[in-house]
Amino acid sequence: MLIFSSCLFMFYFGMIMFFMKKKHILMMLLSLEFLSLIMLLLLINFLCGFLYDFNILIYFIIILVCEAVMGLCLLTLMVRTHGSDYSKCLLIYSC
C-alpha cells in the first residue's frame, strides 16, 4: 500500500510539473516521460500483486520508447525550423 501511495504522490507531482512548465516543450516531454515511468511502476505493482503474466510489460515499454523517440524527433525538427523550444514561438509563426 505504501508503494501505491508514493507512486500516486509522484504521479500528482508529475502532473503539476506538466501543467506548470508550459513554456518549454522539452520540460513538458520530460514530465510526460516521468508520468509514463510512474505508470510503469504502477503496472508492475499491479501485476505482481495478482500474479499475472509479465508479457504486457514488454509491450508497454515498447510503446514508451516509441513515444519518447517521436517526441524528441518532433522537438528536434521544431528547434531546427523555429530556432527554440519555446511554445510561444509556434503561436507567432501561425499567424
3-state secondary structure at position 83: coil
| Greater pLDDT, 85 or 68 | 68
Report the alpha-carbon distance of residue 86 to residue 78 in Å, rounded.
10
Q: Which domain holds residue 16?
A: 2-94
Report the alpha-carbon distance of residue 84 to residue 18 in Å, rounded.
19
The total number of structural domains in the chain stands at 1
pLDDT tens per residue, range 22-59: 778 888 888 989 999 999 988 888 888 877 777 888 89
Report the alpha-carbon distance of residue 76 to residue 81 in Å, rounded.
9
pLDDT tens per residue, range 11-26: 898 889 888 877 788 8
Q: What is the largest CA-CA distance in the chain?
A: 54
CATH of the domain at 33: 1.10.287.3510
Vertex 13 angle, CA 18 and 75, to 5°: 25
